[in-house]
Amino acid sequence: MKNYVLKSNFKEDIQNFLNLKRSTGYKYTTSQILIEQFDNFCYSKYQDKNILDEEIGLDWVKSQKDESVSSLQNRIVVVREFAKYLISLNKTAFVIPTTYIPKKNKYKSYIYASNELKKIFDVIDNQKFKCTYKTSYTVFPVLFRIFYGCGLRISEALNLKIKDVDLENGIIAIYEAKNDNDRLVPVSDNLKHLMLEYANIMHKDSYNTDYFFYLKNSKTPIIKSTLRFSFARIVKSAYIEKNKKINPRIHDFRHTFAVNCLKKFIKENKDLTVYLPILKTYMGHSKFISTEYYLKLTNDMYPDILDKFNSYIGNAIPKIGGDFDAE
């Protein structure tokens, strides 16, 4: 909601709430959009109310058409925080019970084997898949190598602007990522070379504010659903055998990147008290527990790595088992 102007009966409290969050160091970018949506919701349906009561709260938690579980979770959480803020000011407010926060769908991580990666990049590099946009044949060889070689989240890669990519030094700047973790991600020399070639083809007349990766025009980012549809075709063309419970996803390049890093650390007897914080920062995790839960390690390597983790942080992390929240 670009340049949205607060207009509900809660507008002053919402503005003060946002100011408080920012004064304590939170960027609150995504959450601001959600609280602005809540303001618009209250203005549209409850102009006669100046108390955040149960009726408003329970109406807000109703799932919207085609809304993901994650989006609904985020909507509820931000309004719960706002209600608690109102109560701290001795104002009456209904705090949406946690029982209304839906559980995320669980996923098992798919770790790509080296032969599967070769098949996937063979399909991508040699244009052995059907696509809607011919630019895919130029974009995907670089984009998917960034997923695999840097472990970026899908949104992080798709939201990159030209100004965020330092092609001279081979550094990608990630802004407004998950958990508001800004970071710098160095890339390999080979990947930097590919990115330079890509930029020379795709950005001859672009501006710094244009998207680095695009399919139709540089003013518009690639839509996640479009990318996932294309990747499904790539996987099919690569003859990657699908498991009934686990299907390969783009996000699993991130898991594979992390697993391969840990395998390399163990194999080379690296000091994990030094290298784990580096991996944590590189991947944009706010806590060490996120780093562990992000890794679904292969059975032969898992016990070794878990022992190393626990020796570092004192058995604070439980063993990974069963499903995992992918996004």
pLDDT value for 3: 79
Distances (CA, A) of 190 to 125, 162, 170, 196: 15, 19, 10, 10
Q: Which helix (H) or strand (E) holds 186?
A: strand 183-186
CB 292 within 8 A of CB 271: no
* Residue 319 pLDDT class (50, 70, 90 cuts): very low
Q: What is the mean pLDDT of the chain?
A: 85
pLDDT value for 306: 57
pLDDT value for 309: 55
How far apart CA 290 and CA 288 sit, in angstroms, is 5
Q: What are residue 34's phi and psi, to 5 degrees?
A: -70, -40
Residue indicated by tokens 């601001």: 32
pLDDT value for 325: 39
The 10s digit of each residue's pLDDT in 172-203 is 999 876 766 789 999 999 999 999 999 999 99
The 10s digit of each residue's pLDDT in 84-111 is 999 999 999 999 999 998 887 666 778 8
Distances (CA, A) of 239 to 25, 72, 244: 48, 35, 15
CB 289 within 8 A of CB 318: no
Residue indicated by tokens 């160095």: 186
pTM value is: 0.66
Tell me how many degrees the CA angle 56-59-62 measures, rounded to the nearest 5. Answer: 150
Taking the alpha carbons at both ends of the chain, their separation in whole angstroms is: 24
CB 189 within 8 A of CB 152: no
Q: Which of 9, 176, 26 is nearest to 91 (CA)?
A: 9
Residue 59: Cβ within 10 Å count: 12
pLDDT over 60 (residue 322): no
Report how many helices (DSSP H) and strands (DSSP E) the chain contains, helices first: 13, 3
Q: Which helix (H) or strand (E) holds 56?
A: helix 54-60
Residue 294: Cβ within 10 Å count: 22
